[in-house]
Amino acid sequence: MSSMKLFGSISLCAFVALFFFGAPSLAGEKSNKTANSSVKIGTGVSINFDDVKAGGGDSRFLITETAGTGKTATWKVLKDEKAPSKPNAFGIVKNSNYGHTFNLAIATKSKLKDLDVSVKLKAVGGKEDEGGGPIWRARDKDNYYIARWNPLEDNFRLYYVKDGRRRQLRSAKVHLDTKVYHTIRVTMVGQKIDCYLDGKKLLSATDKTFDDPGMVGLWVKADGRTLFDDFVASPAK
């Protein structure tokens, strides 16, 4: 077959494929990104979940996961008479994840670098993991800092997650009542990080993994079920 005929045959096959199947889609790639490039630097959040109807989700958050297996946890706003600011709280109510899957609720309309972030949380359940905490300077679902409390391990830890892999920076032993809410607060200015649990500074570190402004959000590991309230993130003073 001549080169011209071969080229014509290839072109015809390509046309038929496009006609019947469409052009290759980038939707999957785009759906993995949580970029907030249109958001102004310094934009924080102050959410107590009482302005949202109980029983549904909260549109201010993107529900996603790190190292997911296709079983995205269910996050909802719920009525909770023990919530620090009544009547509602927000968190995971259904979860069948395990291992190194990290469940995320990312506030995509936030963009902070030097910040003061706090959240109140109550560990509701989980056989493999419990508890959770805030994330900050998040680029996307695979890159962020996290400070979390895990009552199953009786510890409070600071990590960063880069390219989907977690690295521990600091750890402290704690033992707290799981029947009540506890407060995690983190400040980060430049590369200096301080982490507080119920008002006590337990962790400090210096790290330069993420130097750019990013999003804030909520994090729960594996099969944990956790409720959150009074999520506040603002520029550091």
pLDDT tens digit string along 164-187?
A: 999 999 999 999 999 999 999 999
> Is residue 207 within 8 Å of residue 169, measured between CB atoms?
yes
pLDDT of residue 37: 81
Pairwise pLDDT comparison (18 vs 149), residue with the higher score: 149
Provide the 3-class DSSP secondary structure of residue 6: helix
Q: Mean pLDDT across the chain, nearest whole number?
A: 88
Categorize the per-residue pLDDT at 33 as very low, low, confident or very high, splitting at 50, 70 and 90: low
Type and span of the H or E element at 30: helix 27-31
Checking if the pLDDT of 192 tops 70, the result is yes
Please identify, in words, the CATH class of the domain defined by 3-235: mainly beta
Q: Is the pLDDT of residue 149 over 60?
A: yes
pTM confidence score: 0.85
Token pair 């259904």 in the structure block, residue: 94
CA distances from 152 to 126, 128, 129, 135, 208 (A): 9, 8, 7, 20, 30
Q: Under a CB-based contact definition with an 8 Å cutoff, are residues 135 and 145 in contact? A: yes
Domain assignments of the chain as residue spans, ordered by start: 3-235
Report pLDDT digits (tens) over 53-100: 999 999 999 999 999 988 999 999 999 999 999 999 999 999 999 999
